[in-house]
A and B are shown apart, each in its own frame.
Chain A
Amino acid sequence: MMDNEIDRELLEKIADMLGKPVGAFNIRKDSGCDGRQSTEHIEITGKEDKPGIDIRVKDGTVGETCHIPVIITKPGIEEMVYNDFYIGENCDVNIVAGCGIHNCGDQTSRHDGVHTFYVGKNSHVKYTEKHYGEGDGKGGKIMNPQTVVYLEEGASIQMDTTQIRGIDSTKRYTKIVCGKGAEAVITERLLTHGDQIAESDMEIVLDGEDSKGRVISRSVAQDESSQVFYPRMVGNAQCFGHVQCDSIIMGNAKIKSIPAITANCTEAQLVHEAAIGKIAGDQLLKLETLGLTEEEAEDCILKGFLA
């Protein structure tokens, strides 16, 4: 486990893992299992019928973290993985996922992950997912994550996803179904450069009375890269939903942002905002008057925007 520098760096980048992880974990490396540990409250088992794992969190588990990183270090690996999370009732847990690809070869490396969460009554899940790619080979680094979440009564999920540089092509699909009083907060941060392509398709279904959904998407597209956002919020009951997409466009990049809100109930309150623009000239000038160079000012604005 973590037997070389590349593994260690990838794991640190995507899961903030330094040394042997504490608590429950499963490390998937080059399509195999590179380490697994269950705890008293969190059980991880391999699937028998297809690649992937089942994670079962017992009722009342509070304050535990489960790491499930995936790393690909060999060129030419293409995989489809299914991970299912069964979170009991009255839990409060952190799940840290993430995928790192180191590709020095000419063949494409691809990780497609399908994550399905079943979150029990009154449980809260914080789900963090980072995507990272490195290596100077010509082979593509591709990730296509699908995340589907079912929130029972009073359950909530805070989903933070980050993909800053490195991934050549990504097509993300996220669906969250909220039951009565459930709440979903999704924060998505994305930076593409070169000729990278990123698509994010999102559907938040507010099914239960007093459910809430919030999507905050911030992205930066540089060089020749292109991005498409399609966040949709559907209100089927008395509920509140807010979608906010903000993008900074640079170079010859292209961004398409198509937020959609659908109300199927008179008590549904849904709001969407979308903005695309370049870095404002007066922002750069202000930071230059504080002694930053134009490049430093640009960097500072992007860092703040994606923080």
Chain B
Amino acid sequence: MLELKHISYTVREDGNELGILNDISLTIDDHKLVVFTGPNGGGKTTLAKIIMGLVKPTSGQILWNGQDITDLGITERARLGISYGFQQPPRFKGLTVRNLLTLASGDDKLSKDKCCQYLTRVGLCANDYLDREVDVSLSGGEVKRIEIASILARNSQLMIFDEPEAGIDLWSFARLTETFEQIHATGTATMIIISHQERIISLADEVIVVGDGAIRHRGAAADILPQILADTLGGCPVLTKEVKA
């Protein structure tokens, strides 16, 4: 179980304190699929990074399976079973897809079959990719899918995905949502997915809308989705005026 207690994060800008996250408290039960959604700049990624240890909160406490992990580093949290798929994954000259999956799995002798399974689940063929370097020769969408495959290889208890759909084509996206559905159905991991996609939101046990550094709404996908759609469609006064004219 993941518990966030009174998490705040502020930065100093031009001598003023700017609140990015303001007193967020949240509990996520084991094996749930939770989607963080909300407007850009609302604090979703910062909140996810705070869970992984990539950002240190200004105040508050994080408990993972009852253990206080607030002061633990990224490596220690990773070893306790938390993983994180970056929105814009880094590239590595010289590191192959196989190397990355092997590192992620923690198994030095990770078989080709296993690698193939992870890559297939994100819509990539192992024969084409295993020996390729994770460098600039890969497209943004390819790097993104390899990033997600590395999280699958990690097979951790808590998987965090930051906008996994960004940069991925429609066909691969459909494959990806199936993969999330499968993981959820097997009940082996808790998933936090930051997403704006209706299809991913509809998979969630719970949707948490983060905006202006706070939790705006939370609830079942069926209840939250209509609100999000209503907010989204009514959002442009200029456009509304033009349509009326």
Residues of chain A whose beta carbon lies under 8 Å from any beta carbon of chain B: 218, 246, 280, 282-283, 285-294, 300-301, 303-307
Which residues of B (99-117) have their CB < 8 Å from a CB of A? 99, 103-104, 106
Given contacts A290-B83, A291-B75, A300-B103, 20 further A-B contacts (CB under 8 A): A218-B94, A246-B93, A280-B90, A282-B86, A283-B90, A283-B92, A285-B90, A286-B90, A288-B73, A289-B74, A289-B84, A290-B104, A290-B154, A291-B79, A293-B75, A304-B92, A304-B94, A304-B95, A304-B96, A305-B93
A189: min CB distance to chain B, Å: 10
Question: Residue B89 at the A interface, CB < 8 A?
Answer: yes
Q: In the bound complex, what is the Cα–Cα distance between A307 and B73 (angstroms)?
A: 29
B83 touches A289 (CB 8 A): yes
Given the interface pairs A282-B86, A300-B103, A304-B99, the reply to whether A288 lies near B92 with Cβ below 8 Å is no
A304 touches B75 (CB 8 A): no
> Which of chain B's residues have a CB closer than 8 A to the CB of A287?
103
One of A246, A282, A292, A307 near B75 (C-beta < 8 A): A292
Residues of chain B whose beta carbon lies under 8 Å from any beta carbon of chain A: 52, 54, 73-75, 78-79, 83-84, 86, 89-90, 92-96, 99, 103-104, 106, 150, 154
A286 touches B86 (CB 8 A): yes
A304 touches B154 (CB 8 A): no
B83 touches A282 (CB 8 A): no
> Which of chain B's residues have a CB closer than 8 A to the CB of A306?
94
Q: In the bound complex, what is the Cα–Cα distance between A116 and B86 (angstroms)?
A: 50
Q: In the bound complex, what is the Cα–Cα distance between A288 and B95 (angstroms)?
A: 15
Given the interface pairs A286-B86, A290-B78, the reply to whether A301 lies near B95 with Cβ below 8 Å is yes
> Which of chain B's residues have a CB closer than 8 A to the CB of A304?
92-96, 99
> Which of chain A's residues have a CB closer than 8 A to the CB of B54?
285, 289
Of B83, B90, B154, chain A has the most CB atoms within 10 Å of the CB of: B90
A288 touches B78 (CB 8 A): yes
> Which of chain B's residues have a CB closer than 8 A to the CB of A291?
75, 78-79, 106
**Nearest opposing residue in chain A for B52, CB measure:** A289
Q: In the bound complex, what is the Cα–Cα distance between A27 and B73 (angstroms)?
A: 51
Q: In the bound complex, what is the Cα–Cα distance between A218 and B94 (angstroms)?
A: 10
Query: What are 12 A-B pairs at a CB distance below 8 A?
Result: A218-B94, A282-B86, A285-B90, A286-B86, A286-B89, A289-B52, A289-B78, A290-B83, A292-B75, A300-B95, A304-B92, A304-B99
Closest 5 CB pairs of A and B: A304-B94, A304-B95, A288-B74, A291-B78, A282-B90
**Nearest opposing residue in chain A for B134, CB measure:** A304
> Which of chain B's residues have a CB closer than 8 A to the CB of A307?
94
A26: min CB distance to chain B, Å: 33
> Which of chain B's residues have a CB closer than 8 A to the CB of A289?
52, 54, 74, 78, 83-84
> Which of chain B's residues have a CB closer than 8 A to the CB of A290?
78, 83, 103-104, 106, 150, 154
